[in-house]
Homo-oligomer: A and B are copies of this chain.
Amino acid sequence: MEGFSLDLLDQPESLEQILVDCRDTLKYGVRTGHPRFFNQLSTGLDIIGLAGEWLTSTANTNMFTYEIAPVFVLMEQITLKKMREMVGWPDGEGDGIFSPGETPPNSFKRRTSKPKSHFSIKKASATLGFGTENLILLKTDQRGRVIPDDLEAKVIDAKRKGYVPLFVNATAGTTVYGAFDPINEIADICEKHNIWLHVDGAWGGGLLMSRKHRHKLSGIERANSVTWNPHKMMGVPLQCSAVLVRERGLLQGCNSMCAGYLFQPDKQYDVTYDTGDKAIQCGRHVDIFKFWLMWKAKGTEGFEQHIDRCLELSTYLYQKIRNRDGYEMVFEGEPQHTNICFWYVPPSLRGLRDVEERRQRLHKVAPKIKAMMMESGTTMVGYQPQGDKVNFFRMVISNPAANRSDIDFLIDEIERLGQDC
């Protein structure tokens, strides 16, 4: 706040000052497009996507009616259909919408309980009035994948108690471990008990673009609904989140309130092109164009190459550290997504016998190293505790600009900064 004056005044500033403010805003900001920024699922800066976003801002319109966003509405329809084809629904039939944030795409008017994983599910449950106490959490294996037997036991138990389980969330690519739930086995249980199956592919959905990796989402075509955020693994500028549903007309049926001043039935065009009443919100930002333009420019194959490349890079990291001195992996086995979760154990802790003391001291290592990374401004990577596990690093790779030298740098930097922890 000492860097520049943020205060808003009665009088206008000069244009020169405005330009200084713009420069300062970038100067003091975080370079999320830098190949050594590994802090979030969304990284990188695709230039075609950026051009698309600039055009979108210039068009300055709203998705709610065809009459003011005719081209964007058509692009959205075509892109959603293409995404549903990739999910595997026959002829790409169904419904869908691009909607901001994670929680709204993970929300339905008639939905409740029984997820694991992303906290948006918990928020949706609270927001929709079901209450977080009606969410039943599932057990997962050491890799973070739902255990189907546990799901079925909990469904049966809930029914016996008189509850009506109506919604199961399977995650394709969890946020921390990058785990893919076994969708086919979950779908079997959902079909047997007549439960809505949602697949949260916000992070892992992008793997559908890769012939090599899409098997990890095998069974997704049996889901009733899917979320998929192209702004994550596919490198589309923020935000770009889609919800897809298999049943045609469902979104309109759920959310429609028919505001007369927007959705007049007597327009001169086919008013089913007016998408505004499908969404929970009224105004809706144009999130489609940048994605459509990137898809045009890269082709499906371009996305495939990007995804394959990021996954290769994470395998490189995994192989580099799994047997390296001072590193411990949080879970065993090859990574399913680009998430690599690990502890860095500084030399001072390596010989420590007291398990509890070691835990307590190890818990403080990742925050300390990250604070130093941020102060030196060299790289950024996330950390968190999970369950009974103390703070560990979570590396994720989604930036097309990242390469092996950036991974090497990260390891060197962790060791340099962690030397004296």
Contact = CB atoms under 8 A, between A and B. Distances in A.
A36 B18 CA distance: 29
B22 A51 contact: yes
A263 to B, nearest CB: 9
A176 interface: yes
A270 to B, nearest CB: 12
B74 A6 contact: yes
A298 interface: yes
A261 B176 contact: yes
A257 interface: yes
Cβ-closest 6 pairs across A and B: A129-B129, A101-B281, A268-B371, A102-B282, A119-B259, A53-B57
Interface stretch (A162-170, A322-330, A380-388): A380-388
A394 B280 CA distance: 25
B128 A127 contact: yes
A137 interface: no
B101 A238 contact: no
A10 B300 contact: yes
A302 interface: yes
Given A102-B282, A128-B129, A298 B12 contact: yes
Interface residues of A, number: 118
Interface stretch (A61-69, A144-152, A215-223, A400-408): A61-69
10 contacts: A7-B78, A39-B67, A100-B100, A100-B285, A175-B259, A264-B367, A266-B367, A266-B391, A268-B370, A268-B375
A42 interface: yes
Nearest to A120: B282
A282 B175 CA distance: 12
Interface stretch (A189-197, A288-296, A310-318): A288-296
A28 B70 contact: yes
B364 A82 contact: no
A283 B22 CA distance: 23
A297 interface: yes
Contact of A18 (B120, B281, B296): B296
A122 B51 CA distance: 37
A111 B65 CA distance: 29
Contacts of A1: 74
A17 B128 contact: no
Given A61-B32, A126-B109, A382-B261, A71 B297 contact: no
Nearest to A236: B60
Given A58-B45, A282-B101, A292-B8, A299 B18 contact: no
